[in-house]
Structure 1
Amino acid sequence: MWFRAALIALLSVVLALAAAGIAPIIPYELSLKIGANAADNILTILASSMLAVTTFSLTAMVTAFSGAAQLGTPRATELLIEDKTAQNALSTFLGGFLFAIVGIIALSTGLYGEQGRAILLIGTILMIAWIVLTLLRWIGKLAHFGRLGDTITRVEDKAATALENYPGPRIVAGRSDFEVPTKATFVTAHETGYVAHVDRKTLSEIAQAAETTLTLAGSAGHLAGSGQPLAWASEGAEIDKAEVRRQFFIRRARDLDQDPRFGMVVLSEIASRALSRAVNDPGTAIAVLISAERVLDRFLDQQGEYEPLEGLVDHPLSLEELVEDIVLPISRDGAGLVEVGIHLQKMLGGLARKFPGARHAMAKIAAEARDRAAAAISSDYDRDRLDKAHRSAFPKPA
């Protein structure tokens, strides 16, 4: 955020000071007709108003971040910080303030002649037009910025994008766990953190040069403890371990950009908070399940077919694990709410129909969610409704 604000602020200062340099292109007679002396009062008004608007915008953004963290999850605040409309608004208002301040200082020092003041007035009018357009967009954004629905939508979009761009293979049945060999040439992590990005192309080139195969221990989002393997090659393979290690970018926290499973985790956190006794909002949990189902619908969508790289064994992405990330916390925290349990059955049944290969896994998760809910629900009528929803979602073959 600071970079955009600093860039626009710098351009504003340059614009204010450039008026003196380009003044000769304005005829003296035209500067008199424009009424260049009006720039003094306009810049004074602009400086005072932009300072207030900038302060208001900062307050609104901090309030939105706090609301998203309290009503949703702290992991979602990063998505609000990345919002381009908010960044442009704050940067524009700060830039307008600095433009006015620099213009007033330059006027008081006599830097501008009549032509320079005319250029400054034209620049001021353009700056005001830019500020008005930005302010209108910012007002429209504030109507929903940081609200719970807006937060859920942002997480959904981010998770869907990460899922579509996932570079590795995808499996609809089974888990993605690899059996780590006892004897191999291991490349271990030197720090503890989450893998944020893997340079697959360079790893493939390294493996080909060493005439071996590199197997990734995990994808983006994988927790790499110090001394734990990031990848391995066959025993005795001569590879530059330091060079391989440099292709793994490790961060302190998980990142939504390239980690689809983290998107499911963040959505489940929002639902779990809504299902807490302090909030008791099953409607939000159901909205989260609908968002998660929309993301999972795109599990097999990919911008291009998966192309394995020579010498590299990628870590697969499992539909079953994605579903567990979103369903298990909600089935636990919403076990006593029949409406949540019914929607869970509908969601899992829908996924089983869309991905026939995952039917057994979905039925197993659905049965676990049903049993957990049945144990927490005291009403026989509600238990019957839940059983009916399960039978409807997973009918027995004729």
Structure 2
Amino acid sequence: MKLEMSRRLWVISQTMRQIWFVAAIYCVAGIVTALIGIMLNPYIPPGIGRTIGANSVSSLLTIIASSMLTVLIFSLNTVVQATSAAASSATPRAVGTLLEDRTAQSALSTFLGSFIFSLVGLVALNTNLYGDGGRLVLFIATLAVIVLIVIILLRWINYLGRLGKISRTIEQVEGSASTSMHNYRRNPYLGGKPFDGKLPAGLHMIELDKIGYLRFVDISTLDTVAEQLDADIYILERAGAMVAPGRYVAGLLLKEGQSLPDEETLETLHHAFTVGNERSYTQDPLYGLTVLSQVAVRALSPAVNDPGTAIDVLGHLIRVMVEGKKLEPQDEPSHPRIHVREIEAVDFFDAAFTAISRDGAGMAEVGIHLQHAFHALKVVPLEGYEEAADAFSSVALERARETLAFRSDIERLDSLVQGHNTARHILQRNK
């Protein structure tokens, strides 16, 4: 089963997450709803619609138009304040997940769509486009819109209490990070074959003329080119890497005596690598870990001085790092001509814990919870996790020893690590 997506589908998925796209859908729905009475008017028996006067519908639409505009402006202001709070209290990298929140998007879009619906309805009424049957349909649609507005308002009021809070921001980042990690566990090589970093001789190296983060690699396009050329492609940089001219992103292995591809083919290869100013969660499981780590580092800064938030983030990091550990073995590669480097365990630990162990080295409580995190990850049945956890545990302990001034704190950390090692040794000996 193919789990990878093409660049076109990726662009579509990214667009569908944007708040303007959802709002546009609701606006179109509002316009269609307002005009549906004109289309249905010929099918409604004469006389039924006369019980509903145009004035009553007009009054309702006027109330919706005026109130929804006010609510929309207030809600937009609230979202702007929430994103500013998330950027200052957590990290600017977390703002993207906040703007993609479906609850906020549906609320804003409903208010805007209702406003557009009422405007179109008023214009159609004042231009006498509705007959008696059309006014009846418009009245029923207006009642349905009012019910929808009430439901969304109640949901929105309940949601506003959490919008922009640091805990909610962390949960949203964890959700995106967990999805990315889950997808990686299911398809670590993007449908290609793994390679250990040792490159064959004779590769034609491919570099990009753009500077930025590698956001997406279109494996399907690369596989199509590889089939056409009867060649193999080695992907040297995964999504999330910083690329620039002179840094090779892939290598093309041609058969002996085969000529280099033409400019059009090379251009197709280049377009398979999407570069942007920001990283994306889609193919980059390290990005979510990095964002969560940055939230913890911000909390540990002298300006914030909130070690409790950093400790909370550690729990979220553990959950993300163990996501998908019990999935089924990998199927046969769907793109056997594409070779992809696996992300090593040390890369996950580096993205998650290096900055926290550095900035939290002077706080005993952070050091204690870091050691608990490493101990929890040692027993995870994922390749390289035990060795990486031991290595990062030793580094974090050494940082704490050189930073902590109070001898008792150092002894507590030493005792904790020793206790973890002793317990693990006993368990291994009893197996």
TM-score, reference length from structure 1 = 0.91
Distance 1:118 1:303, change over 3 A: farther
Structure-1 separation of matches of 2:358 and 2:106: 41
Distance 1:113 1:214, change over 3 A: closer
The code of the aligned residue for 1:20 comes to I
Structure-1 separation of matches of 2:372 and 2:216: 35
1:323 paired to 2:349: yes
What do residues 302-322 of structure 1 show as CA deviations (whole Å, max 9, x unaligned)?
Answer: 476154432222110112111
Aligned residue for 2:108? Answer: 90
1:103 paired to 2:121: yes
The DSSP-based 3-state class of the residue aligned with 1:7 is: helix
The code of the aligned residue for 2:359 comes to D
Flag structure 1 segments of 5+ consecutive residues without an equivalent.
171-175
Aligned residues: 393
Aligned residue for 2:251? Answer: 232
Aligned residue for 1:128? Answer: 146
Structure-2 separation of matches of 1:71 and 1:181: 47
Distance 1:263 1:179, change over 3 A: same
Aligned residue for 1:389? Answer: 416
Aligned residue for 1:206? Answer: 225
Contact 1:169 1:317 in 2 (8 A): no
The code of the aligned residue for 2:188 comes to G
The DSSP-based 3-state class of the residue aligned with 1:394 is: helix
1:255 paired to 2:280: yes
Q: CA deviation at 1:47?
A: 1.1
Distance 1:3 1:152, change over 3 A: same
The DSSP-based 3-state class of the residue aligned with 2:305 is: coil
1:218 paired to 2:245: no
1:168 paired to 2:202: no
1:376 paired to 2:403: yes
Distance 1:10 1:144, change over 3 A: same
Structure-1 separation of matches of 2:90 and 2:321: 21
1:146 paired to 2:146: no
1:41 paired to 2:63: no
The code of the aligned residue for 1:6 comes to A
The DSSP-based 3-state class of the residue aligned with 1:391 is: helix
1:335 paired to 2:361: yes
Distance 1:108 1:305, change over 3 A: same
What do residues 260-307 of structure 1 show as CA deviations (whole Å, max 9, x unaligned)?
Answer: 111111011000000111111111111111111011112634476154
Aligned residue for 2:76? Answer: 58
Contact 1:197 1:250 in 2 (8 A): yes
Aligned residue for 1:32? Answer: 50
Match of 1:117 among 135, 141, 149: 135
Match of 1:4 among 22, 28, 36: 22
The DSSP-based 3-state class of the residue aligned with 1:22 is: helix
The code of the aligned residue for 1:194 comes to Y
Contact 1:4 1:87 in 2 (8 A): yes
The DSSP-based 3-state class of the residue aligned with 1:214 is: strand
Structure-2 separation of matches of 1:34 and 1:345: 71
1:366 paired to 2:393: yes
The code of the aligned residue for 1:282 comes to P
Structure-2 separation of matches of 1:47 and 1:337: 55
Aligned residue for 2:216? Answer: 197
The code of the aligned residue for 1:224 comes to V
Identity of aligned residues (%): 37
Distance 1:357 1:230, change over 3 A: closer
The code of the aligned residue for 1:92 comes to T
The code of the aligned residue for 1:199 comes to D
Match of 2:313 among 275, 288, 295: 288
1:75 paired to 2:93: yes
1:271 paired to 2:290: no
Q: CA deviation at 1:369?
A: 0.6
Distance 1:206 1:394, change over 3 A: farther
Aligned residue for 2:35? Answer: 17
Aligned residue for 1:173? Answer: none
Structure-2 separation of matches of 1:357 and 1:112: 70
The DSSP-based 3-state class of the residue aligned with 2:47 is: helix
Quote the RMSD (CA, aligned, Å): 2.4
Structure-1 separation of matches of 2:156 and 2:217: 37
Structure-2 separation of matches of 1:48 and 1:234: 65
Structure-2 separation of matches of 1:23 and 1:331: 69
Contact 2:110 2:152 in 1 (8 A): yes
Distance 1:27 1:183, change over 3 A: closer
Q: CA deviation at 1:87?
A: 1.3
What do residues 356-385 of structure 1 show as CA deviations (whole Å, max 9, x unaligned)?
Answer: 743333212111111111222111111111
The DSSP-based 3-state class of the residue aligned with 2:205 is: strand
What do residues 36-64 of structure 1 show as CA deviations (whole Å, max 9, x unaligned)?
Answer: 53112111111111111111111111111
Contact 2:54 2:125 in 1 (8 A): no
